[in-house]
Amino acid sequence: KSDSDTYSCDIGDAQSRAKLTVQETPVLFKQELQNEEAKEGKQVRLTCELSKPGTPVKWMKGDTILYASEKYEFKQHGTVAELIIRDVKSVDA
């Protein structure tokens, strides 16, 4: 997208110009989240893979946005996004 601009070829007495518009491809899930089971008190890791590296993700439980804390840890490496839930309880289901 950042390559979108006007480009020109200059030969001194004349110029030729063209406008380049780059359309971004939509981000898709290459691998979706999978259902998990965990024993109470343990840690669980939810992982998904996206089609574009560095895509910002928002983690949610139901309709509630999750924020990094002692309970929740977020990791993102390239196209892989992870949510780590520590000390799971029945209310985390």
Q: pLDDT (tens digit, 9 = 90+) per residue, 36-50?
A: 999 999 999 999 999
User: Is 2 inside any structural domain?
Assistant: no
- Residue 53 scores a pLDDT above 90: yes
User: Is 50 inside any structural domain?
Assistant: yes
Q: What is the count of structural domains for the chain?
A: 1
Q: What is the CATH number of the domain that holds 46?
A: 2.60.40.10
Confidence of residue 2 (pLDDT cuts 50, 70, 90): confident
Nearest alpha-carbon partner for 76 in 46, 54, 52, 51: 54
- Residue 59 scores a pLDDT above 90: yes
Confidence of residue 21 (pLDDT cuts 50, 70, 90): very high
Quote the CA–CA distance of 72 and 43 in Å, as a whole number. 10
User: Is 22 inside any structural domain?
Assistant: no
Q: What is the pLDDT of residue 1?
A: 82
User: Is 48 inside any structural domain?
Assistant: yes
